Chains A and B, each alone.
Chain A
Amino acid sequence: MAVNPALLLLTDSRLPAGGHAHSGGTEQAIATGTVHDLASLAAFLRGRLHTSGHVAAALAAAACALGEESSRTGACAQPWPEALGASRAEALGTSPTRSEALGALWILLDAEADARTASPAQRAASRTQGRLLLRVARRLWPSPTLDDLTAGPDLRCPGALDDLALAVPNPHHPIALGAAAHAAGASPEDAALAAAYHAITGPATAAVRLLGLDPVAVHGLLADLTPDLATTASDATPYSRPWAELPARSAPALDLLAERHAGAKVRLFVS
């Protein structure tokens, strides 16, 4: 299948969404000596991809799938009860409208991301990147139907990015990435691939800058990881609601690095 061109834009480090200022724990791993050469960087990136990268990929795929579902269904003001589990629907009253139901679902999915992000510093970094990405994505792929009064009533609904922004103004990065991928016309598996790629490319670039490693050698590490990127993306797609089944691989070392970084007096990267 041909690559979705929008995916290239979403994963490009030149996407102006603030990603360049985050090292994903690399700066602190270098400060503590854990990462100090090519081999230790290779281990760090592999570990990152298979833990937080794997989780981010699954969350991004779920967010993209929720975006797809929201685009398929119903007019804005119509009841949309079947989308919700019984207990959620009850909390919203007997027949929530489409926007109420979707708002609740975005909040729920974002909470799943929160539950899988133990470090408060990492939560903050993820939400900052999510907010900036959401803002950029809403300008790049504005909802086509929001202001289009010629559209039928079924189409006059906010797009997935608007639904998300209304419900969760500071979403976790993988959630924003998944919603953006949907808005750009990409599939959940594309979204997962973008999230997995994001999990290793920013950290790799940070190591080039901080350690002065040969940039081609570091790109060689990324090239070696491409088969793992593909399996991470395909493993990430089978999860549907209830999202409690989403993977929760943890990386305590990354949590500790994130916390340490937040308290560091001297640092170049936000995270």
Chain B
Amino acid sequence: MGANHDDHHHAPAHHGRALRLGVGGPVGSGKTALVAALCRTLGGSLRLGVVTNDIYTTEDADFLRRAGVLDQERILAVETGCCPHTAIRDDIAANLDAVETLEDRFGPLDLVIVESGGDNLTATFSRGLADRQIFVLDVSGGDKVPRKGGPGVTSADLLVINKIDLAPLVDADLDVMARDAAAVRGDRPVLFTSIRQDPSASAVAAWVSEQALSWPHEPVSAA
């Protein structure tokens, strides 16, 4: 698959529909920072759309629009009525509607990212909404969090442990976090990041890019 990568980068394949990527995790762990980084890094090679699920305001959508990482109209905000996890798991209608609106307006797209409102460790995306999901933790929540597990930590396709620049300040032991995460996640990948120090989030972007490029797509019709 590696050999095909460059070709795809130059001419993104026409997918049946875009890969839908959920980004979830507790409040303030760096989800919006990661989405901004992904747009910055992948915006040149993939056709993107973003849906945010803010809790009270359109803060995250506004932040992303201001960051100028993506055409403003390609960012839609969904309101979730007190229950951010309901909107990504039990009743995904409004989020699906937003994703499809983006695809209708700007499609074909390669990747649509849905950022969940910050929630607890049990919040995961329905497979009806997200084809892949990233769960973002940060080290300042304590190095015990991976050990505590929960569906986000154990079952996300990628676990990102962010803000490692803060680890010394909060006495977080990254080796312990890596070991505990591996124990509950088996082979599924874990990446340690500091979006503060690496605003391109290069390792996560590489993983996402690989997912988008290997997403099954309809053959391009002869033209």
Binding site for B on A (CB under 8 A): 14-23, 128, 131-132, 135-136, 206, 209-210, 265-270
A-B pairs, top 8 by smallest CB distance, nearest first, are: A21-B81, A18-B93, A16-B91, A132-B93, A269-B81, A18-B94, A270-B79, A209-B82
Select one of B55, B57, B82, B97 contacting A18, CB under 8 A.
Answer: B97
Return chain A residues, CB-CB under 8 Å to B92.
16
Q: Are A132 and B81 in contact (CB under 8 A)?
A: no
24 contacts between A and B (CB under 8 A): A16-B93, A17-B93, A18-B91, A18-B94, A19-B91, A21-B80, A21-B83, A128-B94, A132-B94, A135-B96, A136-B93, A206-B82, A209-B82, A265-B57, A266-B56, A267-B56, A267-B57, A267-B79, A268-B55, A268-B56, A268-B79, A268-B81, A270-B79, A270-B94
Known contacts being A21-B79, A267-B79, A269-B81, is A135 close to B93, with CB within 8 Å? yes
A206 to B80, CA, bound (A): 12
> In chain B, residues 141-164, which have Cβ atoms closer than 8 Å to a Cβ of chain A?
none
B57 and A269 form a contact (CB under 8 A): no
A15 surroundings in chain B (CB, below 8 A): 91
Of B56, B57, B78, B94, most A-chain CB atoms within 10 Å: B94
Are A20 and B97 within 8 A (Cβ)? no
B93 A269 Cβ-Cβ under 8 A: no
Q: Which residues of B contact A131 (CB under 8 A)?
A: 97
For B78, what are the chain A residues with a Cβ–Cβ distance below 8 Å? 21
Q: What is the minimal beta-carbon distance from A110 to any residue of chain B, in angstroms?
A: 19
CB < 8 Å: which of B57, B81, B96 contacts A266? B57
B87: interface (CB < 8 Å) = yes
Quick check: A20 and B81 within 8 Å, CB to CB?
yes
Given contacts A132-B94, A265-B57, A268-B80, 8 further A-B contacts (CB under 8 A): A15-B91, A16-B92, A20-B81, A20-B87, A21-B78, A21-B81, A136-B93, A267-B79
Given that A22-B81, A131-B97 are contacting pairs, would A17 and B56 also be in contact in the complex, using a CB cutoff of 8 Å? no
Majority-rule SS of B interface residues: loop
Interface positions of B from 100 to 130, Cβ below 8 Å from A: none
Interface residues of chain B, those whose CB is within 8 Å of chain A, are 55-57, 78-83, 86-87, 90-94, 96-97
Contacts of A128 in B (CB 8 A): 94, 97
- Shortest beta-carbon distance, B89 to chain A, in Å? 10
Q: A203 to nearest B CB, angstroms?
A: 12
CB of A19 to closest CB in B, whole Å: 8
Q: How far is the CB of A154 from chain B (nearest CB, A)?
A: 34
A14 to B86, CA, bound (A): 10
Determine the residue in chain B with the shortest Cβ distance to A27: B81
| Chain B nearest CB, measured from A259 CB (Å) | 17
A265 to B, closest residue via Cβ: B57
Interface centre among A21, A128, A135, A265 (most CB of B within 10 A): A21
Q: Are A269 and B91 in contact (CB under 8 A)?
A: no
Assess whether B94 is in contact with A21, with CB atoms less than 8 Å apart. Answer: yes
Task: Specify which of A20, A23, A270 is in contact with B91 (CB 8 Å cutoff).
Answer: A20
CA distance A16 to B91 in the complex (A): 4
Q: What residues on B are CB-neighbors of A266 within 8 Å? A: 56-57
A14-B92 Cα distance, complex, nearest whole Å: 11
Evaluate contact between A17 and B81: CB separation under 8 angstroms.
no
Complex interface: chain B residues within 8 A of A18 (CB):
91, 93-94, 97
Contact residues in A for B87 (Cβ distance below 8 Å): 20-21
Neighbouring A residues of B80 by C-beta, 8 Å: 21, 268
CB of B6 to closest CB in A, whole Å = 39
Question: Are B86 and A20 neighbours in the complex by a CB distance under 8 Å?
Answer: yes
Q: Hey, which chain B residues are within 8 Å of A22, CB to CB? A: 81
Question: Residues of B contacting A132 with CB < 8 Å?
Answer: 93-94, 97
In the complex formed, the residue of A with least CB distance to B126 is A16
Closest chain-B Cβ to A263's Cβ sits at a distance in Å of 13
Chain B residues in 8 Å Cβ range of A16: 90-93
B83 surroundings in chain A (CB, below 8 A): 20-21
A268 to B117, CA, bound (A): 11
Q: How far is the CA of A147 from the CA of B197 in the complex (A)?
A: 57
With a cutoff of 8 Å between Cβ atoms, the chain B residues found around residue A17 in the complex are: 91, 93
Report the nearest A residue to B57, measured CB to CB.
Answer: A266
Q: How far is the CA of A206 from the CA of B82 in the complex (A)?
A: 9
Q: Please, how many angstroms separate the alpha-carbon atoms of A50 and B96 in the complex?
A: 33
Cα–Cα, bound, A206→B81 (Å) = 8
CA distance in complex: A136, B80 (Å): 18
A16 to B97, CA, bound (A): 12
User: What is the minimal beta-carbon distance from B82 to any residue of chain A, in angstroms?
Assistant: 5
| Whole-angstrom distance between the Cβ of A5 and the nearest chain B Cβ | 21
CB distance from B8 to the nearest CB of A (A): 32
